[in-house]
Chains A and B, each alone.
Chain A
Amino acid sequence: MSTLVSLAYLISGICFIMALRGLASPETARQGNVFGISGMALAIVTTLFLVEPSSLVLIALAIAVGGGIGLVIARKIKMTALPQLVAAFHSLVGLAAVLVASAAFLSPGSYGIAQGGSIHLSSLIEMALGVAIGAITFTGSLVAFAKLQGLVSGKPLVFKFQHQINLGLGILIFLSLLVLVLTQAPFAYWTIVVTSLVLGFLLILPIGGADMPVVISMLNSYSGWAAAATGFTLENPLLIITGALVGASGAILSYIMCKGMNRSIFNVILGGFGTDGAAASTSAAANDRPVKVGSAEDASFILKNAASVIIVPGYGMAVAHAQHALREMGDILKKEGVRVRYAIHPVAGRMPGHMNVLLAEADVPYDDVLELEEINSDFGQTDVAFVIGANDVTNPAAHSDPQSPIYGMPILDVENAKTVLFIKRTMGAGYAGVENELFFRTNTMMLFGDAKQMCENIVKALES
């Protein structure tokens, strides 16, 4: 590899770092994205100089086809469908990693990693690791996509001997790796590929819909490590740098998501704990404790007379596409002189930052949207906490009940507000299957109905 190519790769690596750095604040983020695009363009153009000119036509065709599909999808996708889009994109990176590693295995000569037909020992190991991680990312992301898209049930699909089977597959991959290193036998390589594909599928299948923020972050991380392993195989520092950046990013996001649920990453992976919100609400708790139920008119009266309101959105808001109606409600209240803010729990929604994107889409200014640590102490001085489509993240049992499965999870302390308004479809428990004590408090008013419909009705009542 000539010096110029290496330098170009270095520059594009720096561009990628700048792209991530830009995301430190919304003001610099767009500029960061430009850095990212430039880095990618530089990397591709540089590599094209290393390619036989006669191959360029086919390559251009492949880029045009892929790029065209990507362009159309990215333009058309609805922001509420973002989590499944990201999952689908992760699967593509995984599959691309499998293809690249396999291409390197079949003709190592094109990458200069073989001598007289035998591939170097270290390249073989790196190749096997890359293809295994890539294959797990591919099928795992496909399952995550199917769950988020609602193609398969979001309920955890637990099967017998699930951990033993997964462990067995893991051992099989390791043994195949040993055989591959010792004999360079193609069958060992393809065993690794197939076993990893199955393993990725089985690993994600038992994980419930509400744990998807962790799963998506984890697969994000995997796609990075797959790229890095490919970088080792191809002796390409740019792939290593980028893979490490992406891998670290995904790992940190997984950590933040796990902390937001007070669970360890192993608990999530081995879990089979979370069910879908919709699935849980059908198993509504059959009890007769009295709750205060209000109408949209009651809610609008309370909201109008408040001095400050904190809105707590959750996955239910995304499902009902209620963000625009909600913003409209917020705008009217602001005009009435009410101080309106939004409080986001780290694991609200189905991917990290999901709620922030939806609120931004509805033109909610980002400085009205605050994170748990920033706003949690303000609930005590707040007149109304308006909970829309969230449940477990407000459950005081996380503080008070050591027996509760969500004990220790950081929550938004909406109970400290003078009045709590809950928009819910039914009295059902959240995904954790835990009864929320807040529903039965005297300062709580339940607003039953579809989140979007309810917001629209409140808007009507406020305007009249």
Chain B
Amino acid sequence: MALNDIISGLNGIAADQHRLSALAEELAKQAQAVAGQASSAGQGFFITGLTVFVLACFVGYYVVWRVTPALHSPLMAVTNAVSSVIIVGALLAAGPVEMTASKIMGLAAIALASINIFGGFIVTQRMLAMYKKKTVGNEKAKK
């Protein structure tokens, strides 16, 4: 008697579990659809992107104020090199197999950005290599 009760109870639980997992599956599907809709409408990314953008502006603000004025020229050169990270977009444009106008534009942008990346980092390196600490005399110069 008690055993039967337990068995039927277990069966009930198993059935519930089945129903629940089906529900969960349905829910996951719906969530995915909603997420897909959101990103396909472009709204999902915009808020994420804006968050990233604003936070990065703050990081930039505090980091750049700490740059010593003596290194403002290297700062310009290196930010210039770094902004050529736009090459990532150019690579994606040049990615597809078919030769389209957009692929040609992508390739041209890759070449331009590469000039900047190599040129910018090398010029920065050259500049930074010139900054030397003093070696002789004039000990009291530093306040």
Contacts and interface: CB of A to CB of B under 8 A. Distances in A.
Interface string A353-389: 1101100110101111111001000000000000000
B86 A100 contact: yes
Interface in B26-52: 40-43, 45-46, 48-49, 52
A241 B88 contact: no
Contact of B90 (A96, A107, A351, A370): A96
Given A242-B82, A244-B53, A360-B132, A21 B102 contact: no
A409 interface: no
Contacts of B91: 44, 47-48, 50-51, 59
Interface in B87-132: 87-97, 100-103, 105-132
A248 B82 CA distance: 13
Nearest to B89: A100
Interface stretch (A66-74, A293-301, A410-418, A437-445): A66-74
A278 interface: no
A92 B116 contact: yes
Interface residues of A, number: 125
Interface residues of B, number: 93
Contacts of A43: 85, 87-88
B52 A241 contact: yes
A226 B86 CA distance: 9
A315 to B, nearest CB: 14
Nearest to A137: B83
Contacts of A70: 114-120, 122
B43 to A, nearest CB: 7
Given A71-B119, A74-B119, A66 B60 contact: no
A188 interface: no
A324 interface: no
A244 B62 CA distance: 12
Interface in A101-159: 102-104, 106-107, 110-111, 113, 115, 120-123
A361 B130 contact: yes
A250 interface: yes
B48 to A, nearest CB: 8
Given A25-B68, A113-B42, A96 B109 contact: yes
B116 to A, nearest CB: 5
A270 interface: no
B57 interface: yes
A21 B127 CA distance: 17
B137 to A, nearest CB: 5
Interface string A218-240: 00100110111011101111111
A29 B127 CA distance: 10
Given A47-B88, A236-B88, A23 B94 contact: no
Nearest to B43: A122
Interface stretch (A33-41, A195-203, A261-269): A33-41
A253 B75 contact: yes
A339 B140 CA distance: 8
Contacts of A281: none
Nearest to B71: A23
Interface stretch (A83-91, A283-291, A399-407, A420-428): A83-91
Given A23-B67, A50-B92, A363-B132, A352 B102 contact: no
Contacts of B82: 16, 19, 36, 39-40, 242, 245-246
A111 B92 contact: yes
B14 interface: no
B105 A223 contact: no
A253 B93 contact: no
A305 B15 CA distance: 102
Nearest to B134: A365
B138 interface: yes
Contacts of B88: 43-44, 47, 234, 236, 238-239
A34 B140 CA distance: 33
A246 B56 CA distance: 10
Contacts of B141: 339, 341, 367-368
A363 B135 CA distance: 11
Contacts of B128: 26, 29-30, 33
A220 B133 contact: no
19 contacts: A17-B59, A20-B63, A25-B68, A29-B71, A29-B131, A44-B87, A52-B97, A62-B108, A62-B111, A70-B120, A96-B86, A220-B80, A226-B86, A235-B49, A244-B57, A250-B79, A354-B73, A360-B131, A371-B69
Question: Which 10 A-B pairs rank lowest in CB-CB distance, beginning with the nearest?
Answer: A66-B114, A248-B60, A353-B72, A365-B134, A70-B118, A70-B119, A352-B72, A244-B56, A74-B122, A103-B93
